[in-house]
Structure 1
């Protein structure tokens, strides 16, 4: 659940134009850090520019690179925090996200600052039986329920799923309540 919390917080982030991936990497690691945990890989890498496994020029990672550039509308990344206990187990959640321009609903500051956020590209529900619901914040629960509704609505209308697949989809995308 700690890994899921970080994945949700990154996917739900809103940040100013000019932000580097290294500046928001902490969003995925904060819950692990509070429990003296970490993972030894970047949180996200670019996808699809030249079809390399780890596309640059921008990454979501704690490290610094002189070739790094700020996140920009249209960039596609993985969101893949994890935790590994050598010889015992490991967990990694991976979704794909795209950077998009974001219009704030209430611009009280009359700021000319432009903002960005992520939109989800992956349409796979998170396994509810592996989530300790009471660990999630209300914002995280709301995001998870929104995401599962999006997954269900987009997939059940494709007419490509058989009855067993539809039943599975509806079961895994039920509202999280706790």
Structure 2
């Protein structure tokens, strides 16, 4: 899995789309895209809605082969977009839209992801090797190898750092909207 980093160019496009106030209608952008809307102003809770899909995603078994953005009638596509192994860049925009019912709109765009019949990410086992060009480390490793444990730790730290950036982003937007 690659580390995610903020990309100002992707964020600019996401912000421009959020400002159009199209609601929960995906753009025709070439980027992977998550949308969330609410009647309340809390960008962190909107992001947590996507992260809340993890349990259903894990149950789906789709990490080896992405088949659908839902599983047993529950959304999983937002979460899979966030953890898509080939992603290394993202950017988000947030807007208040008085013309739609879910007036606070969060748009996050990702470098790639959510392609049907492709692998989201791999979890190697001690008896299997990885042959996936989307993975950060091209060497074949096993689950018990120190390299893979370090990558897991780095990926977790990357997600926490990204969550922290989203919280800072939310504070900035709250202040901006209040001014």
- Choose between structure 1 and 2 for higher RCO, CA contacts under 8 A separated by at least 6 residues: 2
TM-score by length of 1: 0.25
TM-score by length of 2: 0.25
Whose strand fraction is larger, Structure 1's or Structure 2's?
1
Whose helix fraction is larger, Structure 1's or Structure 2's?
2
